[in-house]
Amino acid sequence: NAGVMQNPRHLVRRRGQEARLRCSPMKGHSHVYWYRQLPEEGLKFMVYLQKENIIDESGMPKERFSAEFPKEGPSILRIQQVVRGDSAAYFCASSEAFDTGELFFGEGSRLTVL
């Protein structure tokens, strides 16, 4: 059973470009979470999605950032007009249940903005 798959693992963008990060949850999981890790810091919650619904986006910047989890296909975190401060590791996690069951994390996507 494959784990949470994220791609790309590394992404380099110049300021002003768009970054798209993809996450395929574990098989059977319909709950997806995105977290961001800045250098030397812990992970910070960004957004929680279920299929076709954003449940909680309280940790996501209001501008330039968006997330989706369509009925078919992976969840996508999209960052428009990237700035240097967006450079970070972005982690996706999935869970099977709505309660506090285990979260399974992917290996993260490291975004570098030049």
Residues found near other proteins in the complex (CB under 8 A): 31, 33, 35, 40-45, 48, 55-56, 59, 89, 91, 93, 95, 98-100, 102-103, 105-108
Min separation Cβ 82 and other proteins, Å: 20
CB hemisphere CA count around 36 (13 angstroms)? 17
Strand partners, 12: 112
Min separation Cβ 93 and other proteins, Å: 7
Q: Considering the complex, state which of residue 45 and residue 78 has its C-beta at the smaller distance from other proteins.
A: 45
In the three-class reduction of DSSP (H, G, I as helix; E, B as strand; rest coil), residue 81 is classed as coil
Rounded CA gap, 32 and 61, in Å? Answer: 18
Q: Considering the complex, state which of residue 75 and residue 95 has its C-beta at the smaller distance from other proteins.
A: 95
**Selection from 21, 26, 1 nearest residue 11 by Cα:** 21
Min separation Cβ 16 and other proteins, Å: 27
Min separation Cβ 54 and other proteins, Å: 12
Q: Considering the complex, state which of residue 19 and residue 93 has its C-beta at the smaller distance from other proteins.
A: 93
In the three-class reduction of DSSP (H, G, I as helix; E, B as strand; rest coil), residue 85 is classed as helix
Determine the distance from the C-alpha atom of residue 6 to the mean position of all C-alpha atoms in its chain, rounded to a whole number. Answer: 9
Q: Considering the complex, state which of residue 55 and residue 114 has its C-beta at the smaller distance from other proteins.
A: 55
